[in-house]
Structure 1
Amino acid sequence: MVGALPRVPVTHAPVSHWFSRPPRRAGRSDRIRGPRPSRKAPPSASPPGPKDDAALGGLDAARLDRHWAVDARSCVLLTQAFAGQHDARPGGAVTLLTSGQHLGPLPGEVAYAAAKSALAGITVTLADQLAEQGIRLNTINPGPVDTGHLTNQARRSIAPMFPFGRFGRPDDPARLIAWLATDEARWVTGQVINSEGGFGRWRPRGG
């Protein structure tokens, strides 16, 4: 996304810890909730962001591995853990988030694009296996979303590339994610869905 999320500390509890606590009420788990991030975590525990990425010529194994660990590996392991505790009743749903790397280049973000491409590429394979347990899995590309960290210059430059004249807002992809979790979407699985508000990479930028 163009608007980067805040760099919050990352906890290093094993994935199994996310599912190890008993539910507060009877019934199956319908969402994943991780441990609260520690406010005392060192800066080095923050997830990689755009400043930790590079174009060809500026990459190294450590940089690629950091993005893979946060942007792809964690999602696959969480999906596996969720499936492991699911009771196989219909209604389970997993939604992954990719980016628009399959629709156009992400200049200077090779590590991020590679990791997010992995999620889009594995969607059908994961969905096929999870169907046996009554779990649907889809991946969403939310397009450029203004999460509150865009500069005014970025807004002026990119906004004209949207036919509605504005960036995506966090509730735009959130509504789609919420719908995919309902029975109304029970026939939708294995899809990579682009929800970009008509974002046109070919449209001229603003001044």
Structure 2
Amino acid sequence: MKIAITRLENKAADDQATCAHFGHECYTVSPLKAVILEDRIVEFADAVNREAFDCLFFTSALPAVLIAPKIERYPRVIAIGPKTAETLQDYGIDAETLPAYYSREFVPYLGEWLKGRSVGIPRADVPNPVLIEGIRAAGGDPEEVPIYGLEPTGREFALDGADALIFTSAMSFREARWRPHPGLLLVAIGDITADAMRDGGYPPDVTGNGTLAGTLEALNTHLSSIQA
């Protein structure tokens, strides 16, 4: 299949290799672009190097790319998923990976350890009040630091040749400009994105586990079931 995947502009990572592994080809469509906040990146990295945090939580690979090169020492580091952990490892930073690839797993994963601990969270300028409230309820002291903004590109997706469209976040769905066509499979990378798609009137045909690899595996299972 030919698959369109929503990614930030110029941030397709290794999607083509991952898709090829599952027998597909892919290309990027970009509903959003990142606006890097250099001053905030420097400030956050300086705070990490001053040992201001007991824990860092990276909720996607982009903050890892922006912050990791500037870190000289680091505390306990949690990555939301394997791709983010792999990116951190590329910079020599060991990270634990959440058992399920959603921010809601952060507090249950750390549990009692959070009590009295400070948590630095470099992320997009999109607050996550549920995560913050959960950390505080567990006795932790969270600090969300926006190190990049997200702006709509305003461009309509080119989907004429696509057999499937994977939305990789709820925001990428909400900000997308696209036109469905007969036979186009709609895919959500995880259940939060799936909920946004249902709320928007486009329930997904396939929902993944929060990773591209898991999503492609779910897509292949779906294709096998409809071809049987």
TM category, shorter: 0.3 to 0.5
Structure showing greater relative contact order (alpha-carbon pairs closer than 8 Å, 6 or more residues apart): 1
